Amino acid sequence: MVILGGAGSVPGVMLGAVLIIGYDKVILPQLAILLAALWPNISVGPVPNLRGASFLTFGLALYLTVLWRARRKSLTFKGE
């Protein structure tokens, strides 16, 4: 939550918390229902478990946020 919203901003941390909880409790279950409805039952195999993929997506969001903030900060220092 702190990484996504920013350590120096209380509203940013609250926004990060809302994003994480909203993704985990609202978006991910809806995606699982949609995927189960669209997944063909021919020979592709069972429907993938999106709950297990949430660790991957949280890690990816964390990595991309840190990378984006580091690049933005390095561009600011170069311009000074």
Domain boundaries, the chain: 2-79
Q: What is the pLDDT of residue 21?
A: 87
pLDDT tens digits in sequence order for the chain, 80 residues long: 667 667 777 888 888 888 888 888 898 889 888 888 887 765 577 777 777 777 888 888 888 888 887 777 666 655 55
| Amino acid (one-letter) located at 14 | M
pTM: 0.60
Q: What is the DSSP string of 7-75?
A: TT-HHHHHHHHHHHHHIIIIIHHHHHHHHHHHS--SSS-SPP-HHHHHHHHHHHHHHHHHHHHHHHHHH
